[in-house]
């Protein structure tokens, strides 16, 4: 099947909601003649009028010229019937997220548009293969998943079903690029790229909350310190717990109830109680006017204590950071590069970088006076960093450990002794899910990295983290979590396991087991 390039071609957008109007705006700004249709009478005209007000507001702020606004609006034509769109070369549907509705619409459109018209669905979760079932030309249907708000979000997932023609997917990929978007190819599997790989970002925090390991404010602070724009709890409050829970439930069911994607009882209770986040006024946080959002205590820098018997264990960026901080303060220390753990030993007591084991497991088998600290992804001084003591540790060391962490430049935040703490287990799980997606042919590494950075504003892509951290230590941390919880959730992806066996062939030669 041969399809001509779609740049400049007339197109139809079906659905005049927020997504459909945004798609129409972007296409019109790129020079396309756009027809806009909605089943509700008058909705398309109302959407154009609202768009005019929004564009005029941008022009008033100097972000658009009056000529650009006029040109964009002139190219958008609300139509009263689909029959008026017989000549378009591309249809993008953005109707309600229901399989039967989308199938019915696209079958109707096949009787109206020409044989060379590409049909695109903006579905965020429904199988493109399933939507194509029953079409006369299933090869011309492709997913074109935009992110909200469409004019601002640069990512477009170009999703191919089993019968999508490769030329169609490539034509849409090129078109999205001409609109100023970054398009990534994806295979039609539950969640596609972003909604699949992102599940652990929410799931790990929800699991820690269910175990009562920490409060939402601490978890959010630690992950913001790692570079995420919003912590998981505040992000779920923004999205809406009903929406987030529904997506998780959909991915869980579509993956035949794979426990990696299991929804959370914590979030289910919020939904059942109507505590949906910002839109209901209450979720993890109180969003009522004047409510004070809880936060972690501010960083209080400290001088390094006077102990003299210091050893820096292990290699890699965390060990270098500890060594550099001690050297800058004029403190002598013994390097122990061949140690099997990373951290600082102080008069026999240990501050250890988490390896996925609980501090108490380390304390039971190796040394009682041990505190574990989280993966410090931030280079900024005073960034929040979680830590936990072993149950075997004495009161004096439990009191002294956070002072050492503050003296080393971290805003130490104590939490319960949960394996992998917060950042390490979350990032490891994001890497694992991305590795599994690539292993299964859902996308490639570059696509996964671009999707997560542009679709959900991650500070780095999962494979960027992996190449700096190393597959072997990530797999080892997940194995420790798997051994602790004895379930399916933390099983290592075959793709990640294979990388670990390759021992460094795909990651940086100097990663040495951490990513700072």
Active-site option among 93, 122, 127, 145: 145
Q: State how far the Cα of 186 lies from the Cα of 443, in Å rounded to an integer.
A: 5
Q: State how far the Cα of 170 lies from the Cα of 186, in Å rounded to an integer.
A: 11
Q: Comparing C-alpha atoms, which of 301, 298, 297, 253 is closest to residue 409?
A: 301
- 157 among known catalytic residues: yes
Active-site option among 122, 124, 127, 244: 124
For every residue of 328-396, DSSP letters joined together read: HTT---EEETT-SS-EEEETTEEEEE--SS-HHHHHHHT-SSEEEE------STTEEEEEEE-TTS-HH
Q: How many CB atoms lie within 10 A of CB 302?
A: 15
Burial category of 1 from C-beta neighbours within 10 Å (exposed 0-12, middle 13-18, buried 19 and up): exposed
- 145 among known catalytic residues: yes
Strand order in the sheet with 310-313: 334-336, 310-313, 343-346, 349-353, 370-373, 383-389, 410-414
- Which pair of structure tokens corresponds to residue 252? 């869980």
Among left, alpha and beta (phi > 0; psi -120 to 50; other), residue 191 is left
For every residue of 119-185, DSSP letters joined together read: EEE--SSS-HHHHHTT-S-GGGEEEEEE-SSTTT--EEEEEE-TT--HHHHHHHHHHHHHTT-EEEE
Q: Comparing C-alpha atoms, which of 448, 473, 451, 430 is closest to residue 205?
A: 430
Q: Which residues of 121-130 are buried (b: 16+ CB within 10 A; e: fewer)?
A: bbbbbbbbbe
Which residue do the tokens 């970088």 mark?
353
Measured CA angle at 125 (ends 124, 128), to 5 deg: 95
Helices 241-254 and 232-239 cross at an angle (nearest 10°) of 100
Q: How many CB atoms lie within 10 A of CB 293?
A: 12
- Which pair of structure tokens corresponds to residue 260? 């990696």
Residues whose CB falls within 8 Å of the CB of residue 119, separated by 6 or more in sequence, listed in order: 91, 93, 106, 109, 110, 113, 135, 140, 141, 142
- Which pair of structure tokens corresponds to residue 497? 């396991």
Active-site option among 77, 93, 110, 157: 157
- 195 among known catalytic residues: yes
If you ran DSSP here, which 8-state letter would residue 97 be given? S
Active-site option among 195, 250, 360, 411: 195
- The residues annotated as belonging to the active site are 124, 145, 157, 195
């Amino acid at each position: 099947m041969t399809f001509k390039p779609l740049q400049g071609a007339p197109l139809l957008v079906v659905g005049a909601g927020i997504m459909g109007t945004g798609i129409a705006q972007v296409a019109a700004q790129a020079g396309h003649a756009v027809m806009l249709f909605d089943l509700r009478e008058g909705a398309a005209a109302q959407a154009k009028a609202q768009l005019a007000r929004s564009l005029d507001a941008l022009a008033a702020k100097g972000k658009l010229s009056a000529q650009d606004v006029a040109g964009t609006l002139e190219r958008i034509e609300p139509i009263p019937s689909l029959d008026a769109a017989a000549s378009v070369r591309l249809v993008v549907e953005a109707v309600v997220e229901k399989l039967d509705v989308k199938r019915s619409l696209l079958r109707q459109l096949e009787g109206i548009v020409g044989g060379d018209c590409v049909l695109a669905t903006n579905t965020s979760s429904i199988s493109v293969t399933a939507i194509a079932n029953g079409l006369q030309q299933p090869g011309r249907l492709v997913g074109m998943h935009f992110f909200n708000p469409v004019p601002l979000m640069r990512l477009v997932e170009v999703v191919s079903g089993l019968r999508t023609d490769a030329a169609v997917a490539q034509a849409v990929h090129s078109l999205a690029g001409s609109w100023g978007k970054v398009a990534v190819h994806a295979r039609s599997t539950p969640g596609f790229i972003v909604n699949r790989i992102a599940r652990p970002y929410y799931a790990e925090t929800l699991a820690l909350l269910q175990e009562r390991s920490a409060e939402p404010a601490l978890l959010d602070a630690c992950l913001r310190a790692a570079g995420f724009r919003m912590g998981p709890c505040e992000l779920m409050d923004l999205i809406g717990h009903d929406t987030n829970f529904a997506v998780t439930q959909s991915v869980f069911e579509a993956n035949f109830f794979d426990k990696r994607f299991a929804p959370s009882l914590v979030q289910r209770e919020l939904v059942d109680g109507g505590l949906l986040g910002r839109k209901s006024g209450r979720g993890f946080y109180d969003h009522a006017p004047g409510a004070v959002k809880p936060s972690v205590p501010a960083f209080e820098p400290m001088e390094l204590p006077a102990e003299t018997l210091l050893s820096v264990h292990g290699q890699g960026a965390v060990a270098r950071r500890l060594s550099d901080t001690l050297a800058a303060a004029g403190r002598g220390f013994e390097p122990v590069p061949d140690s099997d753990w990373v951290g600082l030993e102080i008069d026999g007591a240990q501050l250890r970088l988490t390896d996925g084991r609980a501090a108490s497991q380390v304390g039971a088998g190796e040394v009682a006076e041990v505190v574990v600290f989280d993966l410090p992804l931030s280079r900024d001084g005073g960034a929040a960093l979680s830590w936990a003591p072993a149950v075997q540790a004495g009161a004096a060391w439990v009191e002294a450990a956070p002072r050492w962490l503050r003296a080393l430049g971290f805003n130490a935040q104590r939490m319960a002794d949960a394996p992998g703490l917060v950042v390490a287990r979350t990032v490891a799980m994001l890497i694992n899910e991305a590795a599994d997606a690539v292993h299964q042919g859902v996308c490639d590494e570059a696509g996964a990295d671009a999707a997560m950075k542009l679709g959900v504003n991650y500070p780095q892509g999962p494979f960027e983290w992996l190449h700096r951290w190393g597959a072997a230590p990530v797999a080892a941390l997940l194995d420790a979590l798997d051994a602790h919880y004895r379930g399916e959730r933390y099983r290592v992806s075959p793709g990640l396991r294979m990388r670990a066996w390759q021992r460094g062939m795909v990651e940086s030669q100097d990663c040495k087991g951490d990513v700072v």
